[in-house]
Structures are given as structure tokens and as C-alpha cells.
Structure 1
């Protein structure tokens, strides 16, 4: 059994009551999203469209469309008033190709008593008119589920681990649904799923009215800043809460969590991540990680390790246990079994970091994510 804390023998100097965290969270606000593909009836440029609705003080208010291209890149069309950074799209395929503002007059994405009501139209960057209309007329009571979105399965060069939890997600039933996908005057057929879900034939159109989108460990070159204990073994750093263990005067990170008004996500470490600036030269630690949101979304598991060599600390995180869903619906269990990617994509992600300790200043860290055996 792995202990919660580390043996005191790994430490070479006394703690001064300040710790440094090599980890971070980034919360991505979004109201709702809907995704569909036309890969079986392809367009000359685009394969998949994802419509996203925002209403917050970070990105603004409006609709944005992520149009995935045949070459793996994404073009992003967005309504005036929305504000984005090109780095926001590093997790999508090969990344951003073009970011294009479009008015999208009368665009809507609403949920009525009969289901999804989606409409938007815009001119793409080469002058073609794209018009999307999806309207459910569904009398059945929806039976939504929760899932870890497999967004990261298609990412070429990730800058973080995308822990995108989709709550109240559902598929659109074929019966009674009006669909019109028109590009440059040609109508395209939407991809379907051959499995029955809740006894109904469905399109491979998935939507969530409650996304909780978290990036863990956004990588790069940075200076680590000190975290000072402000409560009973707990530190509040902006949106992130750290829970600590007192290991004979050394504060170790037992878990870190982030939350919005509805949901939370926690990364657990066992043993706790040590007081990195105080471990002695040659010391090393290996442990387990578990990432969990609400019980219904299951867990991601993996391993972490760190070692000190002189003034440098090398770290590695590998979520090689994959995602273990906690889904009671048999239709979804069959889908996960038929498409292993849902459970296995995190196994291809590896985070490595090198921390340079500086006795006269704050430590600096250079980190990156790579995908193991991927393309």
C-alpha cells in the first residue's frame, strides 16, 4: 500500500513554510456545445462542425463554430464581440488555421421542450455559403449521460491534458428531426451511429447543455511563484485549491481541485507531491495520480515521478491508466467497448518538466506534453 506522505529521508534542508507547485489548472467557460460530422458525405474542405455558445466576462457573448478541415487543422468562425487567443485551439486536431469573424445573423442554439433547435449561416473564407439547421421534434423524455470528452484523441501537439467533462450530453434521434446541412448549395448527409441508444436510431450528433472544461498543466517556460499557507493545510491560489499534508514540517501536495458554480474536478496524488525545493540531491519519488469529477464521469488514473540531480528536478506524469467510465446505460457501455478510443486516449499523453532550483530566486520550469506512439 502506498503511503499518503513521503519518507522524511528524501529531504536535505528544512522548510521555510513556502512551497511551489509545478501544476496548474485553466478553466474554460462555455454555456453549451453541439458537434456533428459529414465524413461519410464529405465536403471538399470541412469534415466536422462544432457550435459553441458563450456568455461570460472572459470570452464574451455569442456563437463560435469550429470547422475541422480535411487536413486536420481547424478554421474558427465567430460572431462579433467574442474574444479569443489563437492558443485556445491547440487541443483541436493539428491546431488553428484561420480565425474569422462572421455576423451569423439570426443564429441560435436553444433547447426546447422537444429538443435541440440550432440554426446558423455564414460565408466561409473562400466565399461559400454554409447553412446549418437541426431541429428536433422529440416527444420522448431525454435520458442524458455524462462523459469525459475524447477531444484529446485527435490532438497532434497538446499544450495541456484536456479534462473536458460534458454533463447532460445526449444524441439526436433520427425520428422527427429536421436536418439541413448545405455548403455552396449542396446538401450533405450527417453521420449516423449504427447502434440503438435508449431504443432509438440516432445521428452522430452529440450535444451538452452543461460542459465543464478544464485544462490541466498548461505547458511552457515559466517562473514558479511561492504559495504560502493561509489556512489549515490548505492554499487558495486563484481558482485552484491545494490540500496539503504536514510531513514533519514539510508541506506536501495531497490534492488540487478547481470548481465552478456547478461542478468540481480534483487531482489526487499518492504519495503527496513533496516539498520540491527541499529534497536532497539524488532523491526520487514515484506515485499514483487519480483525476475525478462527479462520480458519474468516472476517473482517469496514472503515475507521476520526480528526481533531483544537483540544482535540477526532473518530473514526469503519465495518465497511463486511461479513463474508467462509471456509466450505467448499456447502450453507452457498448459504444465504449466498440470504440476503445473513448477510454484509452489519455494513455498516449506524457508530461515532462525540468525545474531549475535557484537559491537566490524563484525556481523556473520548462515543461511540455507529448503523445506516446502517436503519428
Structure 2
């Protein structure tokens, strides 16, 4: 919190504008493949992740994330891709290196009966890395929605990452050709020790329609203001704000964002209070983050507290991820691998808010990890 001569937030300052301290950034991705070999690791790497883009933000191309045994990541990407290094601090040790490679001869495709991929490139040590997968199972896929635990390893996150995987599935072991070779040595891919949909699976997984969310990026600056004139829905570009007004004082019920045909909604119960008119001393409530119904939701709690003349806002996804579990294979995966449901519970967002001399609200917000899964 800033310690200066800025005047405190006035308890009598009733307003007809609504301050929105929350952000939801959405990034589309064409396809994602995650291939782990943690039981038979290389001296540097224990997993590779392939991503394919074709959008205005990134351009068109592919990249490989090399997940290192020291917790950091190396990014190998097509030269034409536009990438933000800060987006990779969700990894445990953060970004180690980001270098360009030509992946024009590499490919990653997903069809009705499975996937096929082949990537070959040199790492930073000049070692040849080659991995390929070809599913030969002719039976149709049975994909489902899944929330990746991509944020589990981050120690100092600048946002809570939410990787929503639509049309997600694991690579079936029967009929599949799969290999991982690093500097001439073959490595065994990890397997799942129980069946899913009555099939033996590799832990290698993929999705043909991922969506990357960054919730509440760390921020130090003025809070954006939403003008409310009595309507219950305020539309600003691809974002819709749902509000209520009590005694001419607007409060926030939810935020919905759209991205290439996908929707994401942040909801509050009760509605999140108007910070500029908050009289305290505190209020508690619940929130949820929902995308496509197949993905379930993330649930948590929020708290707004007056501290002297300033405010503190906290949000903790204490309910974790609540998936849709109609299929027993998903229920088993969720119940046996606790990481999937528990990692959001370890995130805590704090915003410290004061008022500037000219009556605007200033926020200093940050994330921290509160427990380890």
C-alpha cells in the first residue's frame, strides 16, 4: 500500500460509477500436446509441450516448451510468432531461455480417431530432440473438457493461469507408435496406471481447442471505472458487465468475456460491492469462474475489508476445480490425481486500495501461493 499524502477513501462518497478491479485476459490456441517422461527423464528435460497458433495476437506458427528438471522452461518457437516472455512465469522456475527454431517440417494434427505429431529440433546444447506420435486406434475418440494444472508449479505468479482444454483426451496405448529421443537416447513416455474409458493410456494428452486465461494480472495503478446509468448490463467491446443498483449505488454481479466463439464468466454471490462507496467494516462472498459447461467451474471466496481509511480485497479459489463428472473415467482421474482439483486452492489474490488526491482509486495487487499441493 502506498504511504503518501493521498487522501483516504471517504465513507460518505456515494457514487454512480462502478470500479472494476478484475481482469480476464483470454488467448486462443489451435491445439496443444503435452508429452511427459518424468519416470525416465533426460539430464535437462522431463516433458515437452507443443502449441499451435493462428491468431492476430501470436501470428501463425508452432512452439515447443521444454519443461526442465530444474523447474524452469525453455521456449523454442517459429521465428514469426509474437510471444510475451512474461507470460511464462506460471512455471515453477520461470522462463530460462526463449529461442527461435524452424518448425516448418514439423506437424501436429488431431482427427476423429486420434492424433499424429512429429517434431525435430536442436536444443540449446546442440542436441537433436525428436519426438513423434501416431495413434493407430481406429475407434472414435471420446474427448471431454478438462482444466490443466498449468499453474501448479509457479512460485511467484503474476496472474492465476487457467488453461481450459476443450476436446481433451489422452493418447491411447493400443495401436500407438510413440517415441522420444534426445541426443540419440530413447526415453519411455509416462503411462496412467488405471484405465480411462476402459482403455490403457499414456499420460501424454492433447486438446484441439484450448483457451488460455490469465485471471487478475498483478497491477499497480488506477482502477478502471464503469459508468452505470441504471441498466443491468453494460457492454464494452467483448466484455459484458452485469450490475445491480441499490439506492442508486451500483454493485457488480458478474463479468462475461467472449473470445472466438468461447465465453468465460466471473460471478459473485452476493454481488461485489462498490469500492468507492464501501462503508465496511468487511463483507464476504463467493465467486465462480465458468467457461464451457463441459469444463465445470472454479469456486472460491472473496473478502473486502476496511483497514483504517483504505481497503483490502482478497480472493482465494478455495473450492478448487469442480469438473463435470458424468463419466466414471473422469471421476476416477479427478479423485485419484489430487493435483487436478487442488492446485487452484493454493492461489491467493490481494489488492490494496487507496484514494488519490483527485478522488480516483489506486490499486496495488499481487498473487501468492499459500500452500503446496
So what's the TM-score if we normalise by structure 1?
0.93
Give the corresponding residue for 1:93: 92
State how 1:260-271 maps to structure 2 within 5 Å.
260-271=259-270
Query: How far 1:322 moved relative to its partner?
Result: 1.2
- Matched residue pairs, number? 364
Query: How far 1:353 moved relative to its partner?
Result: 0.9
Contact 1:227 1:237 in 2 (8 A): no
Aligned to 1:109, what secondary structure does the other structure show? strand
State how 1:1-375 maps to structure 2 within 5 Å.
12-15=12-15, 17-229=16-228, 232-280=231-279, 282-374=280-372
Contact 1:300 1:322 in 2 (8 A): yes
Using the TM superposition, name which of 28-37 and 259-268 deviates more.
259-268
Whole-angstrom distance in 1 between the partners of 2:285 and 2:17 = 22
> What are the Cα deviations for residues 63-107 of structure 1, in whole angstroms up to 9, with x where unaligned?
011111010000000011001111110112221010010112411
Query: How far 1:136 moved relative to its partner?
Result: 1.0
Using the TM superposition, name which of 51-60 and 334-343 deviates more.
334-343
Aligned to 1:157, what secondary structure does the other structure show? coil
> What are the Cα deviations for residues 36-59 of structure 1, in whole angstroms up to 9, with x where unaligned?
111111101001101000001111
Query: How far 1:230 moved relative to its partner?
Result: 7.0
Aligned to 1:154, what secondary structure does the other structure show? coil
What stretches of structure 1 of length at least 5 have no aligned partner? Answer: 1-9
Using the TM superposition, name which of 250-259 and 155-164 deviates more.
155-164
Distance 1:45 1:237, change over 3 A: same
Query: How far 1:292 moved relative to its partner?
Result: 1.7
Whole-angstrom distance in 1 between the partners of 2:93 and 2:311 = 31
Whole-angstrom distance in 2 between the partners of 1:240 and 1:222 = 21
Contact 1:105 1:121 in 2 (8 A): no
Whole-angstrom distance in 2 between the partners of 1:84 and 1:239 = 22
Contact 2:14 2:276 in 1 (8 A): no
Whole-angstrom distance in 2 between the partners of 1:294 and 1:92 = 25
Kindly report the root-mean-square deviation, in angstroms, between the aligned alpha carbons of the 2 structures.
1.8
